[in-house]
Amino acid sequence: MMAEGRLGSQAAAVVVFTLEGAGGGNNYSQYLAVFWKHGNQYVYCCSRHVGGKGIRSVERVSLPGASIRLGGKDYVPGKDPMCCPSRAYSDDLAVRDAELVELGASDTGSRGP
């Protein structure tokens, strides 16, 4: 998934990508990467682990202004199987000193991985 727009005062692109099968098996991890746009080029800023099997599923990413908004499904402890998180969440992140930091979550109170 990808979103382009402005992150605060800077043009940016954010990408959520999934890595599967590391170490064998069917595990997967999701990461968020931020790139600043300078003319026709993108310059890497930072990245962070944001989801994966047993953590949460990231299904949406957007740039609503000064933050990055992730949305998707969270696991209900003791209820959801590993294949199927079921509780909706929304989480906001920002770039501070070239690092991604969480601003807070809604719906589930989830604070991410």
What gap in Å lies between CA 12 and CA 67, rounded to an integer? 11
What gap in Å lies between CA 30 and CA 63, rounded to an integer? 18
Could you state, in order of their start, the residue ranges of all structural domains in the chain? Answer: 2-106
- CA 92 to the chain's CA centroid: 9
Q: Which of 34, 75, 80 is nearest to 57 (CA)?
A: 75
User: What average pLDDT does range 84-89 have in this prediction?
Assistant: 96
Q: Are 6 and 68 in contact (CB under 8 A)?
A: no
What gap in Å lies between CA 35 and CA 47, rounded to an integer? 9
Rounded to 5°, the CA angle 96-65-18 comes to 70
Per-residue pLDDT tens for 27-82?
Answer: 899 999 999 999 999 999 999 999 999 999 999 999 998 999 999 999 999 999 98
What gap in Å lies between CA 95 and CA 75, rounded to an integer? 26
> pTM here?
0.86
